[in-house]
Structure formats: structure tokens, C-alpha cells
Chains A and B, each alone.
Chain A
């Protein structure tokens, strides 16, 4: 009989993973943990360096021969240009306050997703190449040389940061990891390492005005299609203005909402609301994109893509701009637009033509968030609402990182929701408002090839959604961001099945009682309204 070791010995199996210093562990690319690289045609069109076919899983990334010199030169340039970047490189004391605040770390446990370590990927080079003492001390001082593996690591982890800025909220020095990520991505551009999901929309936007590359006639056609649906549901034909000169207001919203489910229902909500108010507003097929993938590319690209907002307002002669539900669009508007492309002194401070409210907070940019606009309408009793039409929805609200941490918009969407829905429950306090958890798809990471990693990063959000689903029967996650509307449905499907996703203005569209409307039997998704399940069309 074969001899087996006694159980005492058998149990001495070592299951632990080998502990390696983070600098010594190589980055492993495999399907699901990276986004596909930028296509050469797109890079050429955008005039970006080193266009080529390459695959992150290959050993050879086909970097330019003098890539080290290029990166160091640009690194130096950025340190000089951005005082904030220099401070962020110097000031971190590694207190660890940020360490467990990133959703990718919380969900996945990869230490390089701790914001402190993510920044250290850059800092180690900063020390190794720019600090004399650290150069000598090397690893002891947390310094290292710029090798090709470092570029690979940057590509992996700076495209695993959604620039959501949750970590910055907890940093005693206010180090903004989003800005560090932006710098790293700009350095990577210099040697041609970037992702197509960001660059193609940026190129499209440059060409047609929107990320999807929808041309004007197609945009109008899709709009008409949604107007047909609205007529079928409400009996009212809405006739939106497109590219009309002389309107008081220009309305700009993300293009993702014009054709993608469930964004289209939010888009229909806007159309219905404007028609209800008889608002003097026009849509634009040129400024047909609120989002700005330039924000995830470079400051130059961001500025260029953003410029169309003011250019179009000027061309059409609008007095002010109303902006739809979008996340990063509002970060750009609230934090950068005025200094990049302002002042917009050809326009006026937004004043609601319905209530007379003057929105002084938007006096600088002349651009008002639709939730502020609608909340003001409700507060002043200007909307006839039947919240019971949303009784099939038990809602909670997901703060988009950008509108929450980027502009402090917390109350308005909630106020609207509580007026158009009768069932609303908040998720736990440390998962909403300033502390909101990212959907995992921010900063251009909402592509399908990244689904697995995005679900990993979506765990903290999904966990909070599951909690309110189990506790209060929540079945609808309302949000005010087009990327959320694309990424949250699969996130919910994986972590909290049974919870759907809607925009806030979709629910407004459901609840609004229109003059001369027909008996409403369905909501905007053409699902039966509560109690109307047996009604024939």
C-alpha cells in the first residue's frame, strides 16, 4: 500500500501568495483588465504621436526609439507648467488615508489601485530621475529608473483610474489623483500608448460634434423618431427647434442619450418638459455633445472640444445655455470652461423664463444644469405632476462623481425625484453625495472589453444598491449621467439583479401632466403604468 504522509503534514500546505515588493511585480495584461489601444487611423487624424498597430499583451509595444528621452522631457515640462502637479509629486506623506478609498482597490484588492501607490508609480520615476539624493539611494528612497515595464505599468493603472476623485476627498493635503492620472495619460500619449475608447469619440467629436460621429441629418432623424414615440405615448406632438437662431436658450446634452437605451427615455423627458413649458429653446446638431472625452485625453483636446458650446451659442445668438444630465461634461463646465474658453460675455446670467429665478451660481459660465432648472420649476409650482405614474419604480439616487465631487450638486436631483416619485430611499451615507462610489466607467473606461475590471470596481456601488434593494425593495437606480446610464445597468445586473437604471428627467417625463394629453397608459419605456396593465393601446 502506498504510504501517505500523516494528516498533520498534509495540512501544512502553503496557500499564501508570495510577497513581492510592488516595484518587482510585473504587470500582466490579459483580456478583461485593459482597454484596447488607440487605432492608428484615429491617432493620425488627431495628429498624435506614434500611430501603430500594437497589443498590450505583446512584449514589444513598439515604442519610439528615444521614448525615454521623450517621456522625461515631457515630464519635466509638465512639472514646470503645473505647480499643482509638482506639489502632488512632493507633498504626499504616505499617511494611507486614501489607500482604501478607490473603488477598484475596494473591489479588487490590487495594491497598485491604492491611490497612494498609483501616484507612486509616477513619483518613483520623479524621484529616480529628478531628485539627486533619491537617485543615489535608489529603491531605499522609493526611486527607480524609467524602464519599459514602467510604461506598461502606467498604461495599466492610469487606465484603471476613473478620475472620480473619491480618494482626494480623504487626502489631508487634497492631492488630486485625477490630475495625476491626467498627467500620466498625457505622458503616455507622447509615446503612443492610449486607448481607442477615448480617442475615437474625441476624433468623432472633433469631426461631427458628438462622440458617436452622428451627422446632423441622422441626429435630427433620431430626434424625430423619439418625437414619434412621445406622440404615441402622450398623444402630443412635440416639435423641438434644431439649430434655430434667436432662441433664448441653447440646450446641450450628451449624445449617448439620443439612441442608447435607457438614455433615450431621459432625452424624451427633456423634449416633453420643454414642450410643456413652451420654452424658447433650440437643440444643436453641432453642439450635439455635452460630454467631452478631451478631458480624458489632454488639456488641449478638452479645450478644443469644449469650445463648440460657446461657439454655437454665439452663432445661434442664445442668451444662455441649459445643460442636460451628464457627469464629466459638468466637471469640464464647472471647473475648466470659463478659464479655457471664456469669458462668455456675449451671453447673460441664466434666468428661468418660467419662474424668473436668476441663477447667479451660473453667472460665470452662463450655463445652467437642468436639475437646477427643473427643481426651481417644481419649487415654484410650475409643473403639474402625477407621481403615481412612477409607482412601479422604487427609486434610489446615484450621485455621479463629477456632479457630486466636481460641482457639489446634491440636493436638486433628490428634490426632483422626491416630487416625481412616491417611493424614494437613500443608499447608505458613506456611499452617496461627496462620498459617492464611481460606476467604474468614468474617464473613458466604459468600453465593453473592460467589463470585468469595471464590475470589480463597481462592487462598492453594487453592494450599496443591493442593500437598498433588499431592505426597501428598490428596483430603480436614478442617475444624472449618460455614462452611468450605460455602465450601471450591467453593474446592477451583476451585483444587484432586478434593479434597473433611469435618468431623473425620464421620471419627470412620466409624471408630467401635459395639456391635451391622451389617457396615459404606459410610461416612456412603453411599459404599462400602474393599474393600466390590462389597457389596450
Chain B
């Protein structure tokens, strides 16, 4: 008998398309139209990164059992979260795309779930998606911390050398060991 994971693989394209559309709906209408249309990975990196990440996630989800592992999912989630972390979203908006997978799965596979009585499996799958949301939250925080770090580094780079050269702060690079 076929399981939900099998349907996820069989109907992969439909699930992915729906999920992608739902995620793109979180952008302005004109933007979504353009991003859906253009498929060159370098002219349209958002679509490229989202599709690569989403495909990986759906395939891995079908085979991950009850507890998804961060090592497996983090790189794929990163493709999407890293982009959304700098797109002027609130933290919840940036990471909500994960939950849209639930919606995509339900909408696409609902008939199969009913027909084959896969409700328990659906609940398990949705729990796994919840775990992915937590991973996404971690990645989001890492990205934001990185941005702060980059800002600090830029300020340092701007003034560090100047302060040393002007003798306003001491410079140990030219000195040896303490006598």
C-alpha cells in the first residue's frame, strides 16, 4: 500500500509548484509574475535558489522518517532563508514559507489522504515540517547575526588602521615581545 511519503515523491512536481506559488504570493504581484517567468539561474537567482532549496526539502522530507535532521535540511533551508533574511521581512514573515509547505501538501494530496486514510501520516509529516520551521528560525538568526557582524567589521576596518597610524591608540603589530 502506498504511503504519504510515496505520494510526496510521485506528486512531487505538483506539491513543489503549489508551494513555490504560495511562497511567491508573499511578494508583490508584479514581482511574483516576473520571478515565475524568468528561469535563468543568474538573471533570477531568487527563483533558482528557492526551487533548489524546495526540491531538496520535499525529496528529503519523503525519506526522513519522523525526525528530520538539521545536517540534512539546513543547507537547503539556507538557500531560501538567507535570501528572505535580507528582504525587508519580519522574522515571522521571513520564515513562514516553511508552513506554506503544509498548505501545499494538504491542497495537493488531500484526496489521496482521504482515499487511503493517511491522516496519521499527514500529522507526522506536518510535525516534521514544524521541525523544519525551527531549523529555519536558527538559520534566520544566524543570518541576522552575520549582518550585524559585517556592519561591525566594516566600522572597524574604516577606523582601526587610521587610529593606529595617528597614534591615538597603541599599535602592537610593530612591537616584539614585552621586554
With A11-B107, A259-B165, A448-B154 in contact, do A100 and B38 touch (Cβ < 8 Å)?
A: yes
Q: Render A233-249 as a binary contact track against B, CB cut-off 8 A, 1 for contact.
A: 00000000000000000
The residue that B151 contacts in the complex, of A8, A218, A261, A451, with Cβ under 8 A, is A451
Say which residue of B49, B103, B150 sits within 8 Å of A15 (CB atoms).
B103
For residue A106, CB closer than 8 A to chain B, the reply is yes
In Å, the complex CA distance between A109 and B165 comes to 43
**Stretch of B3-11, B29-37, B56-64, B128-136 with 4 or more beta carbons under 8 angstroms from chain A:** B29-37
B153 touches A490 (CB 8 A): yes
A460 at the interface (CB under 8 A from B): yes
Q: Is the interface of B mostly helix, strand, loop or mixed?
A: helix
Q: Which residues of A contact B28 (CB under 8 A)?
A: 17, 19, 109-111
Of all chain B residues, the one with the shortest Cβ separation from A494 is B146
Query: A110 to B28, alpha carbons, bound, how many Å?
Result: 7
Tell me if B66 is interfacial: C-beta within 8 Å of chain A.
no
| Complex Cα spacing A486 to B156, Å | 12
Contact of B46 with A459 in the complex, beta carbons under 8 Å: yes
Contact mask for chain B residues 39-82; partner A; CB cutoff 8 A; 1 contact, 0 none: 01111111011000000000000000000000000000000001
* Nearest B-chain residue to A222, judged by Cβ: B165
Across the interface, A490 reaches (CB within 8 A) one of B22, B107, B150, namely B150
Q: Please measure, in the bound complex, the distance between the C-alpha atom of A19 and the C-alpha atom of B155, giving whole angstroms.
A: 39
Contact B153 A106, beta carbon cutoff 8 Å: no
**In the complex, A11 Cα to B147 Cα: how many Å?**
35
A105: chain B residues within 8 A (beta carbon):
31
Q: Mark A1-14, 1 if CB is under 8 A from B, else 0.
A: 00000011001010
Q: Does A528 contact B (CB under 8 A)?
A: no
On whether A260 and B150 interact (CB within 8 A), knowing A106-B46, A221-B165, A430-B42, the answer reads: no
Q: How far is the CB of A433 from chain B (nearest CB, A)?
A: 13
Q: Which of B31, B44, B103 has the most CB of A within 10 A?
A: B31
B112 contacts partner chain A, Cβ-Cβ < 8 Å: no
CB interface residues, A 489-515, toward B, < 8 Å: 490, 493-495
Partner of A111, one of B25, B31, B150: B31
Chain B residues closer than 8 Å to A109, beta-carbon distance: 27-28, 31, 35, 46, 87
Q: Please, which residues of chain B bring their CB within 8 A of the CB of A16?
A: 25-26
Name the A residues within 8 Å of B48 (CB-CB). 463
Q: Roughly how many angstroms separate A262 CA and B36 CA in the complex, as a whole number?
A: 39
Q: How far is the CA of A45 from the CA of B38 in the complex (A)?
A: 48
* Bound complex: CA A348 to CA B48 (Å): 51
Q: Encode A393-425 as 1/0 by CB contact (under 8 A) with B.
A: 000000000000000000000000000000000
Tell yes or no: A346 within 8 A of B by CB. no
Asked whether any CB of chain B lies closer than 8 Å to the CB of A189, the reply is no
Which positions 8-26 of chain B face chain A at CB distance < 8 Å? 22, 25-26
Contact with B along A95-115 (1 / 0, CB 8 A): 000011000011111110010
Bound: A17/B32 CA distance, A: 11
Distance in angstroms between the alpha carbons of A453 and B153 in the assembled complex: 17
Q: Is the CB of A11 within 8 A of B106?
A: yes
A15/B43 in contact, CB under 8 A: no
Is there an interface contact between B42 and A460, defined as CB atoms closer than 8 Å?
yes
Q: Does A73 sit within 8 A of B, measured CB to CB?
A: no
Inter-chain contacts of B157 with A (CB < 8 A): 260-261, 486
* A15 near B26: Cβ-Cβ < 8 Å: yes
A173 contact set on B, CB distance < 8 A: none
Most buried by B among A431, A459, A464: A459
Whether A463 and B49, one on each chain, are in contact in the complex, defined by CB atoms closer than 8 angstroms, is yes
B116 at the interface (CB under 8 A from A): no
**Is B147 within 8 A of A108, CB to CB?**
no
In the assembled complex, which residues on chain B have CB atoms less than 8 Å from the CB atom of A456? 86-88
* Chain A 331-359 interface mask (CB, 8 Å, partner B; 1/0): 00000000000000000000000000000
A30 to B46, CA, bound (A): 23
| Chain B CB within 8 A of A360 CB | no
Give every chain B residue within 8 A of A428 (Cβ-Cβ). Answer: 42
Choose from A30, A100, A264, A494 the contact partner of B150 (Cβ within 8 Å): A494
User: Which chain A residues border B44 with CB–CB below 8 Å?
Assistant: 100, 106
A188 at the interface (CB under 8 A from B): no
The reply on A452 being an interface residue by CB < 8 A is yes
Contacts of B42 in A (CB 8 A): 428, 430-431, 460, 463-464, 467
User: How near does chain A come to B176, taking the closest CB pair, in angstroms?
Assistant: 12
Task: Tell me which of B49, B86, B151, B166 has the highest count of chain A C-beta atoms within 10 A of its own C-beta.
Answer: B86
Q: Are A13 and B161 in contact (CB under 8 A)?
A: no
Take A15-B96, A100-B44, A221-B165 as given contacts and tell me if A494 and B147 are in contact as well, using a CB distance cutoff of 8 Å: yes
Q: Is the CB of A430 within 8 A of B107?
A: no
**CB under 8 Å from chain A, chain B span 125-153:** 143, 146-147, 150-151, 153
B118 interface hit (Cβ, 8 Å): no
Residue pair A459, B83 in contact (C-beta under 8 Å):
yes
A298 within 8 A of B: no
Identify which of residues 185-200 in chain A touch chain B, using a CB-to-CB cut-off of 8 Å: none
Flag whether A204 is at the interface (Cβ < 8 A): no
* Listed residue (B30, B45, B49, B154) with the most chain A CB atoms within 10 angstroms of its CB: B45
- B150–A493 touching, CB < 8 Å: yes
- Provide the bound-state CA to CA distance between A495 and B49, in Å: 11
B46 and A107 contact, CB distance less than 8 A: yes
Q: Which chain A residues in 101-131 approach chain B with CB under 8 Å?
A: 105-111, 114
Complex-state Cα separation, A310 to B143, whole angstroms = 46
Contact B26–A17 (Cβ < 8 Å): yes
A445 within 8 A of B: no
Nearest CB on A from B163, distance (A): 10
Beyond A16-B25, A451-B154, A490-B150, is A110–B88 a contact (Cβ under 8 Å)?
yes
Chain B residues at the A interface, C-beta cutoff of 8 Å:
22, 25-31, 34-35, 38, 40-46, 48-49, 82-83, 86-88, 96, 100, 103, 106-107, 110, 143, 146-147, 150-151, 153-155, 157-158, 161-162, 165-166
9 nearest CB pairs, A to B: A463-B45, A490-B150, A109-B31, A448-B154, A456-B86, A16-B25, A109-B27, A448-B151, A259-B161
Other A-B contacts than A100-B35, A428-B42, 4 sampled, CB-CB below 8 A, are: A260-B157, A452-B86, A456-B87, A490-B150
